[in-house]
Amino acid sequence: MLGILASLTCLHVNASVIRVSSIPDLQSAINNASPGDMIILANGTYLNATLTISASNITVKAAAPGGVYLNGPQFIDITGNFVTFSGFQFTSGDIGDAYVIDIYGSHNLVTQLNFSGYSAKKYISIHAPSQHNEITYCNFENKPVTAPIGNLIHIDPDTLIPGYHKIRYCSFKNMPGAGGDNGNECIRISNGATSTYISRTIVEFCYFTNTGLGDSEAISVKCRENVLRYNTFTNNQNAMMVFRNGDNNAAYGNYFIGAGGIRVKEANNIYCYNNYFERAGVSGTMGAVKYDYISPNLKNINFLYNTFVDCGDINLGGTGPTNNTWANNIFKKTAGNIFTGSTAGISWAGNICMGTVGISIASGMTSADPLLVVNSDGYYGLSPASPAIDASNPNVPAILDVTNIDDDPFVLLDISGQARPAANNLKDAGCDEYTSGAITNRPLKVSDVGPVYVGGTAAVVSDDHKFKAINDAGLVGMLQECYPNPFNPTTTIRFRVPSQGNVTLQIYDQLGREVVTLHDGAMPAGDHQSVWDAGQLPSGVYFCRLHMEGYWETKKLILIQ
């Protein structure tokens, strides 16, 4: 399908397309690859595939998306940089107490993979000190109950170097098992022993359904400075998003609909804002929110601008929390108590509540019907007469701004991506701002994520959002030829942006080290150019890398001083 190619790295004009039909030939082609080469494995089923992808700036992909089944024992190590690995399925086989894909290099893109029923301890593990790896449009489901215990995706942080990895547009479905703390989390970021390490991983636009029998933690955060945003949890009543260990983490713009919500345990400085909870903690083993106090944690835990509709238990635990804030939230519940536990150590401000609170809150909780209505995206937002409009209390704690992450610490957007006022006293309570504008976030469906060949939406996304494919060799190049090349000491880099969005343009040396960032931020649609002056650098081969959403492209540059 054409849409799949939107996620692939484009070729340098002089690169080769190499077609192989066996695992030994695939490994040989990888070993002899030049930067920009695309290696295509013929459709079919292959057993006992042990691969090491040590070359950099190459693409390894299936001839047709989903057309290659790597079944049997598979051990795939990606040690190179700027590698795209795309289009493979893992649907049977057993590698015992091992991992299917180990990523040791940086700036790698693993995309359009399907793991279903495959027996392994872990499916994908990203190892320190690598940086800027992405896992996108993949599907993970039905890990056998007989498989060794281990999470599906594991992020290993480094002691000093933040990872900046991304997990995006992936689906996690139908995990069998006994439930509880079983060790089969969909995503685990670090381990408790490394809780002080900084990862800066982003998990966004992922879909979780029926994963709780594998483990009660759908996402388990166990280190510092990670962002969980724009994810949807539905029919996931037995699993929660969990801040298990580690401080300074954020969750915003997530939907918990008929699912477990958020649990906080051995963590501090946690910011949960602009999230939507509907029937969260109902008809399952998990709650809408749960505090688990392990001394001396639960300091500075903040729930701000969230909406809770007919949810199950919001359990604030017993004594232990300190300097917590619940502000500018909406609670609506037709039967039963909204809260259980103790209010010790918690401040309240600007909240609106309809229903039985269940605990004693002296101030900061206004009893009123928030007048919610179901919006065009199927969840409850504000009606024109809602008392939540312009009702926020301005005295909210400053929200964490994670270094070098494009987050939203000033709550300038609501859950749908529409603009909020800059002043806190003008913002609406709850996750939804009563306003107009472009909607960029809504509850995901399973068809919005995962590989195109198992129903992912990338197959039908319009050409103005993704990029047209031309043939098996690659895409229409957004990064055009640089001139002059070879050059001394300046060259002009020309590129095209098909629709407005974030664009990163960087230069790297042959060892994959970043030399300079020429642009990193929003850019309008159209043709652009950037002049790179390499006068202070030694002669040699460099790589120019263009990154737009779901799209990486690399060109080789030769500097002659």
The 8 Å CB, 24+ separation contacts for 403-411 are 403/162, 403/200, 403/225, 404/162, 404/164, 404/200, 405/164, 405/200, 405/202, 405/225, 405/227, 406/502, 407/227, 407/229, 407/250, 407/252, 408/252, 408/253, 408/274, 411/273, 411/274, 411/304, 411/305
Residue 2 has pLDDT above 70, yes or no: no
160 or 8, greater pLDDT:
160
* 489-500 residue pLDDT tens: 999 998 888 778
Average predicted confidence (pLDDT) for the chain: 90
Q: Which residue has the higher pLDDT, 513 or 64?
A: 64
165-186: average pLDDT? 94
Cα torsion through 75, 80, 82, 88, rounded to 10: -20
Neighbours of 106 (CB within 10 A): 24
Percent of the chain residues past pLDDT 90, beyond the cut? 77
pLDDT at 131 over 90: yes
Q: Which tens digit of pLDDT belongs to each residue from 13-29?
A: 356 899 999 999 999 99
Q: What is the pLDDT, as a whole number, of residue 501?
A: 81
Tokens standing for residue 549: 């959403």
- Written as six digits, the tokens of 410 are 């000033």
Q: What is the tens place of the pLDDT at every residue in 517-554?
A: 999 888 888 888 899 999 999 998 888 888 886 567 77
Task: Name the residue among 309, 228, 312 with its Cα closest to residue 271.
Answer: 228
Statement: residue 83 has pLDDT above 60: yes
From 109, 150, 154, 148, select the one nearest 128 (Cα to Cα): 154
**Distance between CA atoms of residues 398 and 408, nearest Å:** 11
Which segment of 3-12, 43-52, 85-94, 338-347 scores lowest on mean pLDDT? 3-12
β-partners of residue 340 are 315
Candidate from 33-37, 67-71, 106-110 with smallest mean pLDDT: 33-37
Can you give the pTM of this predicted structure?
0.84
Percent of the chain exceeding pLDDT 70 equals: 93
Nearest to 198 by CA among 172, 231, 165: 165
Cβ(298)–Cβ(264) below 8 Å? yes
Domains in the chain, ordered, with CATH?
477-559 (2.60.40.1930)
Cβ contacts of 414 within 8 Å, gap of 6 or more? 274, 305, 420, 428, 431, 432, 433, 435
> Of 51, 10, 69, whose CA–CA distance to 454 is shortest?
69
Q: In what order do the strands lie in the sheet with 122-126?
A: 50-53, 75-78, 99-103, 122-126, 153-155, 187-189, 217-221, 240-245, 262-266, 289-291, 314-315, 339-340
Q: What is the pLDDT of residue 9?
A: 34
pLDDT at 472: 30
**In the numeric block, which tokens belong to residue 516?**
């300079």
User: Per-residue pLDDT for 504 more than 80?
Assistant: yes
Q: What is the pLDDT of residue 512?
A: 66
Residue 180 C-beta-side C-alpha neighbours within 13 Å:
2
Q: Where are the alpha helices (DSSP H) in 409-458?
A: none
Residue 540 vs residue 259, higher pLDDT: 259
The predicted structure's pLDDT at residue 1 = 24
Is pLDDT at 510 greater than 90 in this prediction?
no
pLDDT tens by residue, 137-149: 999 999 999 999 9
**Predicted pLDDT of residue 521:** 85
- Sign of the Cα torsion 254, 260, 261, 265 reads negative
DSSP bridge pairs for 353 = 331, 367
324-327 and 346-349 beta bridge pairing: parallel
Provide the greatest CA pair distance for the chain.
Answer: 76
With 0-12 / 13-18 / 19 or more C-beta atoms within 10 angstroms meaning exposed / middle / buried, residue 97 is exposed
Contact partners, residue 423, CB within 8 Å, separation at least 6? 394
Q: What is the pLDDT of residue 550?
A: 59
pLDDT of residue 558: 87
